[in-house]
A and B are shown apart, each in its own frame.
Chain A
Amino acid sequence: MNIIVCIKRVPDSESRIVVGSDGRSIDTQGIKFVLNPYDEYAVEEALRLKEAAGAGTVTVMTLGGEESKETLRTALAMGADQAVLLKGEPSGDGLGTAEKLAAAIKEREHDLVLFGKQAIDDDNLQVPAMVAELLGLPCATVVVELKVEGNNVTAEREVEGGYEIVEFELPGVIAAQKDLNEPRYPSLKGIMAAKKKPLEEVDVADAEARLEVIELVKPPERAAGEVVGEGPDAVPELVRKLREEAKVL
Chain B
Amino acid sequence: MKPGDTVQVQQQDAGVHWIYATVITANDDGSAFVQIRHPGNKEHGAMIFFGAEKIRTKADVQKLIDAMPAQVYGPVLQEKRSLQSQADWLS
Q: Do A and B come from one complex?
A: no
Residues of B within 8 A of A (CB): none
